[in-house]
Amino acid sequence: MNDINLDLERSARIGMPEIVYGESKSPEQLREIAARHEERGVNMLVTRCSADQVHGIEGDYDPVSRTFVCMRTAPEPQPGLVGVVYAGSSDVPVAREALVTLHFLGCETREFGDCGVAGVHRLLHHREAMTPCRVLICCAGFEGALPSILGGEMAQPIIAVPTSVGYGVAKGGHVALHGMLSSCASGITVMNIDNGCGAAMAALRILRQLQKS
């Protein structure tokens, strides 16, 4: 199979593991990739895959986040807690992708669900529990207003992840994305729609700096 040329060296170069994007890969391609990871004895995370695509490969498939994890060695523990905040139960798949990736990367996490802005008190009640987090990942669909509220209340780095939850104009997550990019709260950073995994990687980049201090 000569069309796979993994960049497993990147881990050495910048200290960030390559994560396998499963969406358009065949089961054969994924088995081959798994074999290469096995040879090197490294852990593997596949995102955006179905149970069928990874059938027969050793590891754990999570149907909610559509991720597959094969852990061979415990990941190096990262300093600092990461909070994952989300608006409603429809945002769970994206929040879960972030959580699975964070655990794969060795991060400790805390989860804050059902923080939808139509009942803003729910979010405000979590303020104290969020304070020890070093980074907040915030997932929301529909109008994507949650990071605006969060950003006015909390001082940590906030990584906003729009989710493709909604219908009519909100279908596909573009309204949430644009709402987050336009947030009147200061210093909110944004990921592509549904990119929980990328948000976890961005959190890792921040946590790595804490270690250096």
- Subset of residues 120 to 139 that bind a second copy, contact rule: CB under 8 A: 120, 122, 124, 134-135
Measured CA to CA in angstroms, residue 19 lies from 40, 50, 53, 89, 198 at distances of: 15, 16, 16, 26, 10
Please tell me the distance from the alpha carbon of residue 122 to that of residue 114, in angstroms, as a whole number: 8
Q: Write down the least CB distance from residue 151 to a second copy, Å.
A: 6
- If the CB atoms of residues 70 and 199 are measured against a second copy, the closer one turns out to be 199
Q: Write down the least CB distance from residue 62 to a second copy, Å.
A: 14
Any contact of residue 186 with a second copy (CB under 8 A)? yes
Q: Are 82 and 75 in contact (CB under 8 A)?
A: no
Any contact of residue 212 with a second copy (CB under 8 A)? yes
Any contact of residue 83 with a second copy (CB under 8 A)? no
Q: Write down the least CB distance from residue 177 to a second copy, Å.
A: 7
Q: Are 100 and 62 in contact (CB under 8 A)?
A: yes
User: Using CB under 8 A as the criterion, what x/- string covers residues 29-68 for binding a second copy?
Assistant: x------------------x--------------------
Say if residue 206 is exposed, middle or buried (CB neighbours under 10 Å; 0-12, 13-18, 19+): middle
Phi, psi of 49 (to 5 degrees): -125, 160
Any contact of residue 167 with a second copy (CB under 8 A)? yes
Any contact of residue 187 with a second copy (CB under 8 A)? yes
Report residue 129 as tokens: 């529990």
The kind and range of the H/E element at 98 are helix 92-104
User: Using CB under 8 A as the criterion, what x/- string covers residues 4-33 for binding a second copy?
Assistant: xxxx-xx--xxxx-xx-x-xxx---x----
